[in-house]
Amino acid sequence: MNKNKTMPAAAHTENSTDTALLDVKDLKTYFLTDAGIVKAVDGVSFTLHEGETLGLVGESGSGKSVTNLSIMRLIPSPPGKIVGGEIVFEGQDILKLPEKELRKIRGNKVSMIFQDPMTSLNPFLKISTQMVETIMLHNKDVSKKEALERSIEMLKLVGIPSAEKRIFSYPHQFSGGMRQRVMIAMALSCNAKVLIADEPTTALDVTIQAQILELIKDLSVKLKTAVIIITHDLGVVAGMCDKVCVMYAGRIVEKADTDDLYASPSHPYTEGLIMSVPRMDVAHKNDRLFSIEGQPPNVIDLPPCCPFHPRCHKDMEVCRHAYPPTVGVGSGHEVSCWLYVDEAQRNLALEKALADEQHAAADAVQTNARKEAAK
């Protein structure tokens, strides 16, 4: 998708109305595992307006899927738990809804395309059954025949050849790419207000990929569906999204309008991401791409620090001792990085962090001593 890099972002929708359709506030989703507490999502906030397309990018394990599963309240529990925050959809906090109300939202107002197409369809039921039930569930006045016709139509739309016949197949008779398209058709069949697409095109080849994305884009314009697209592919973001959130180690490190993000990436991680996308219009020194060295951190028991500091070329003393605050660097453009905090405040923060660490160390020594004494 390299060529897309220089494409203009999708036309901005002007509906920056004050009330967002979806407002995620300080969401925290943890997994309690034997190894410790996995803070998969740790204080994520973003808003989504009608018709808007939001891109969620970040490395594997940064918490993109968990964020969206939390919105659907589909976190497997145990071991997962949403420990804090609010997810306000149409004025209601999804996290506080009873099961029955939740069901009216799932698949009806918010629908989701899952990341793994191979396992996300029921292998024991025909595609037709699975699609028809989806449509009929939320449209009580639709007959079975109508639902079937609608399903076939949707399958044609996502490019399944001879859909009238193939709809009666079982999932295992479809390839991975075809299954992904079935998933997409199923998610699109309900005209939801929010469509969450978790890497919707990973299993597809490039031409189909472009078609599907085009389809999602059309839909968001025509039906004013708001879309959250999760992807590793910055080309997809550039081609489709109005806004982007960059995630790193369970937090959003940078949030901006797509144009802004490409024009002035602020977080060193975002810079790295953008530089690692091959560009046709820029000659590469030694023909090699920039890549971000190192591994993403383990999100178990992260100490207070900027989780990116071991890989950051601009890291400072303070980065190793305190998590950076979120600061605005332009309209609607926010970043969590110490570089954008003025020096006086940085020093203050460092002093405080060091003092805290000393206190903690002293406390630890004391408790240990007490334990020893108790023995």
Partner 1 sequence: MTKYIIRRLLGIIPTLFIIVTLSFFIVRIAPGGPFDGERALPEVVKRNIEAKYHLDEPVIQQYGRYLFDVLRGDLGPSYKYKDHDVNYFIAASLPNSIVLGLISMMLALVFGISAGVIAAVKQNTWVDYTAMALAIVGISIPLFVISPIMQYVFAMKLKWFPTSGWFTSGGGWRSVVLPAIALSFSYFADVARLTRSSMLETLRSDYIRTAKAKGMRNSTIIFKHTMKGAMLPIVSYLGPAFAGILTGSVVVEQVFRVPGLGKFFVQSSFNRDYTLIIGVVIVYSVILVIMNFIVDIVYAQLDPRITYK
Token pair 């031409």 is found at 207
Residue 336 backbone class (left: φ over 0; alpha: ψ -120 to 50; beta: rest): beta
- Nearest distance from C-beta of residue 347 to ligand SF4, angstroms: 14
> Where in the chain does DSSP place strands (E)?
22-33, 36-48, 53-57, 80-89, 92-93, 110-113, 194-198, 226-231, 243-248, 251-257, 326-330, 333-336
Q: In this chain, which of 105, 147, 216, 350 binds partner 1, going by CB under 8 A?
A: 105
Q: Output the six-digit token pair for 307.
A: 């989780």
Q: Which residues sit at the interface with ligand SF4, rule CB under 6 A?
A: 267-268, 306, 308-309, 312, 314-316, 319, 324, 337-339
Question: Binds 60, which of Mg ion, partner 1, ligand ATP, none (CB < 5 to 8 A, cut-off by type)?
Answer: ligand ATP
Q: In whole angstroms, what is the distance from residue 194 CA to residue 172 CA?
A: 29
Question: Binds 40, which of ligand SF4, Mg ion, ligand ATP, none (CB < 5 to 8 A, cut-off by type)?
Answer: ligand ATP
- Nearest distance from C-beta of residue 373 to ligand ATP, angstroms: 38
Give the strands of the sheet with 92-93, arranged side by side.
36-48, 22-33, 80-89, 92-93
Query: CB-wise, 63 or 85, nearer to ligand ATP?
Result: 63
94 and 88 Cβ atoms separated by less than 8 Å: yes
Assess 103 for contact with partner 1 (CB under 8 A): yes
Assess 134 for contact with partner 1 (CB under 8 A): yes
Q: Output the six-digit token pair for 328.
A: 């605005």
- Nearest distance from C-beta of residue 124 to ligand ATP, angstroms: 24
Q: In whole angstroms, what is the distance from residue 319 CA to residue 340 CA?
A: 12
Q: In whole angstroms, what is the distance from residue 252 CA to residue 44 CA?
A: 6
Assess 201 for contact with ligand ATP (CB under 6 A): no
Helix (H, G, I), strand (E, B) or coil at 68: helix
- Nearest distance from C-beta of residue 207 to partner 1, angstroms: 26
Assess 31 for contact with ligand ATP (CB under 6 A): yes
Q: In whole angstroms, what is the distance from residue 347 CA to residue 338 CA?
A: 10
Q: Output the six-digit token pair for 371.
A: 């334990």
Query: CB-wise, 225 or 266, nearer to ligand SF4?
Result: 266
Token pair 């991680």 is found at 269
- Residues 47-76 contacting partner 1, CB under 8 A: 72, 74, 76
What is the b/e burial string over 213-222, where b = at least 16 CB atoms within 10 angstroms of the residue's CB? bebbbebbee
Question: Binds 79, which of Mg ion, ligand ATP, partner 1, none (CB < 5 to 8 A, cut-off by type)?
Answer: ligand ATP
Q: In this chain, which of 15, 16, 33, 264 binds ligand ATP, going by CB under 6 A?
A: 33
Query: CB-wise, 65 or 151, nearer to ligand ATP?
Result: 65
Assess 216 for contact with partner 1 (CB under 8 A): no
Q: In whole angstroms, what is the distance from residue 200 CA to residue 184 CA?
A: 8
Assess 121 for contact with partner 1 (CB under 8 A): yes
64 and 125 Cβ atoms separated by less than 8 Å: no
Cis preceding linkage at 79, omega within 30: yes
Assess 81 for contact with partner 1 (CB under 8 A): no
Question: CB neighbours (10 Å) of residue 13?
Answer: 16
Q: Output the six-digit token pair for 207.
A: 């031409």
Q: In this chain, which of 53, 70, 111, 115 binds ligand ATP, going by CB under 6 A?
A: 115
Assess 340 for contact with partner 1 (CB under 8 A): no
The interface mask with ligand ATP, positions 50-79, x = CB under 6 A, is: --------x-xxxxxxx---------x--x
Assess 33 for contact with partner 1 (CB under 8 A): no
Contact footprint for partner 1 (CB under 8 A): 72, 74, 76, 99, 102-108, 111-112, 114, 116, 119-125, 133-134, 137-138, 170, 172, 183, 186
